[in-house]
Amino acid sequence: MKQLKRTKISEALKLNTFGKEINVKGWVRTRRGNKNVSFVALNDGSTIQNIQIVIDNEKFGESFLKPITTGACINVNGLLVESQGQGQSVEIQAAEIEIFGTADPASYPLQKKGHSLEFLREIAYLRPRTNTFGAVFRIRHHMAYAIHKYFNDRGFYYFHTPLITASDAEGAGAMFEVTTLDLNNPPRTEDGKIDYSQDFFGRQTNLTVSGQLEGELGAMALGAIYTFGPTFRAENSNTPRHLAEFWMIEPEVAFNDINDNMDLAEDFLKYLIRYALDNCREDIEFLAKMYDNELIDRLNFVVDNNFIRLTYAEGIKILEESGEKFEFPVHWGTDLQSEHERYLVEKHFKCPVILTDYPKEIKSFYMKQNDDGKTVRAMDVLFPKIGEIIGGSEREADYDKLMNRVKELGMNAEPIWWYIETRKFGTAPHAGFGLGFERLMLFVTGMTNIRDVIPFPRTPNNAEF
C-alpha cells in the first residue's frame, strides 16, 4: 500500500482539492450499500462528523470486504471527490484499503443502534468511540486548555499541590487512606492502635480532598496561583452529582478580597463558556440536539447576564417568602440544597447568582469572619440546572481569629500547623475558590449524570477500568 501522509478526518472534510489522493485512517461506524458499491462511514475521533468512503465492491472482492464491519479499523488511500449524497460535501473513492483490526459483529458491543448511557458506563473502555462521548471528551479537552490559557494570560502561576497529604482541608473526614502497611496484620502500639510510625511516611496519610491550603501558601509568595488536578472524597454518595475522584480548579490570589474573588469567578466562568461556544460548537450542537435542546440558550444566558450578588440572609428571605413547597425546609442557618439554589437562579432572578456572607457554622474554618460574629466572607456561585458550581471565600488572615476558630470546632491543629504559621509571617488579605471541573462539564455539555463527563468514573463499588 502506498505510503501517504495521514489527513485527519476533521481536516479532510474541509478540503476542496478534488481529484487529489489522500490517506485517512479510522474506525468504521457503519457500512451499507448494494452488490456493486459499499459506503463506509469512517470516524477517527477528530470530529463528530464521519467521512464517507465509497468502495467499488468488484475491485476489492467480497471476501476482502467482509471483515469491514462496524467497529473495524481501516487505513484508506483514495481520491477526494465532491459528494453526490446528502449530508456531506466531500467523500473518498477508495483506491487501496488496509484492515488494521476487525470487530466481530457477534461480540462487538457498539452496533448501529441507540445505546443507553447506563449500558455505555458498563463498557467505558469503548464508549469514547460513540458520538456522544467523542463530543463530551473533546469538549473536556478544550475546557482544560481554556482553563490553563485563562490563568496563564492573566499572570497566574500553575502550582502543583500534593495528592498525598496528612491534612484534611475541608474538615469533612471523608478521605481515602494511603498506606503500605499490611492490612491483614498491621503493626500496633502498646495501647493497640495502628502504629503509623512504621508506615511509609511515618504517619497517617490520605489522598487530598483539596489543594487549597497548599495553594494559599503559593499565593502568599507568588501572588496569584491556580491548581488543577484530581481530588478525592470517600463519601458514599450515589447521586448523579458526586464522584469519588474528580478534578478541581482552585485559584488563590494574594491581596484579593471577597469582591475581587467574585469578579474573578464571574469573569472566569464567562470566559470558559464563551470559549466552549466559540471552539466546540459542532459538538455542543450535537449534544443539544440529542439530549438537551435548551443547552445553547442556557450557555448564552450565562455569558449574556451579569451575575446577581446578594447575601445569604437576603437569599433565605426570598426563599421563605416564595410560597414554594421545597422538599427541604429552609430557614436561617440551613445549608442550601440544590432546589433552593436553582429557585433563586431559574425562577426568582432568572440569571446566575452569587450568594455571600454565610453563617459561620455551615462553612469551613479558614473563611474570614465578618464583624457581626455570625457570618463569614464565603461566596457560592449558583447556575441554572445544577445549583452551586463554585464555592470560595476570602481567607482568614488573622492568626488569633484562625486559631480561635480551630479551637471552636474542636479541630486538631497539629496536621495544619504550617498553614496556621503563615499568619505569623507577613500575613495579608487573600481569597480564592474551587470549581469542580466535572460540574463545569455537566453545565457545558448538558449531560445530567456526572459519570458521563469523565472517562472512567470512580464511584462507590465501582473502580472498573
Q: What's the CA gap between 154 and 236, in Å, rounded?
A: 38
Q: What's the CA gap between 328 and 442, in Å, rounded?
A: 24
pLDDT of residue 173: 59
176's CB contacts (< 8 A; 6+ apart) are 206, 207, 232, 234, 244
Number of H helices, E strands in the chain: 14, 16
pLDDT of residue 113: 77
What DSSP string runs through 376-439?
Answer: EEEEEEEETTTEEEEEEEEBP--HHHHHHHHHHTT---GGGHHHHHTTTSS---EEEEEEEHHH
Mean pLDDT over 377-399 rounds to 96
Residue pLDDT, tens place only, 428-451:
999 999 999 999 999 999 999 999
- Residue 36 above 80 pLDDT? yes
Q: What's the CA gap between 156 and 250, in Å, rounded?
A: 11
Q: Give bridge partners of residue 79 from the DSSP assignment.
A: 21, 93
Residue pLDDT, tens place only, 1-16:
999 999 999 999 999 9
* Burial class of residue 273, CB neighbours in 10 A (0-12, 13-18, 19+): buried
Question: Helix-strand-coil percent breakdown of the chain, rounded to 5?
Answer: 35, 25, 40
Residue 107 Ramachandran class (φ > 0 left, ψ -120 to 50 alpha, else beta): alpha
Average predicted confidence (pLDDT) for the chain: 95
pLDDT of residue 161: 97
- Residue 170 above 80 pLDDT? no
- Residue 85 above 90 pLDDT? no
The SS3 of residue 155 is coil
DSSP conformational letter for 30? E
- Residue 172 above 60 pLDDT? no
- Residue 273 above 80 pLDDT? yes
Cell (9 digits) for 429: 488579605
CB 18 within 8 A of CB 82: yes
- Residue 199 above 60 pLDDT? yes
What band does 420 get if pLDDT is binned at 50, 70 and 90? Answer: very high
Q: In what order do the strands lie in the sheet with 308-311?
A: 157-158, 224-232, 245-254, 430-436, 387-394, 375-383, 353-359, 308-311
pLDDT > 70 in the chain, percent: 99
Mean pLDDT over 259-272 rounds to 98
Mean pLDDT over 391-411 rounds to 95
pLDDT > 90 in the chain, percent: 92
Residue pLDDT, tens place only, 338-371:
999 999 999 999 999 999 999 999 999 999 999 9
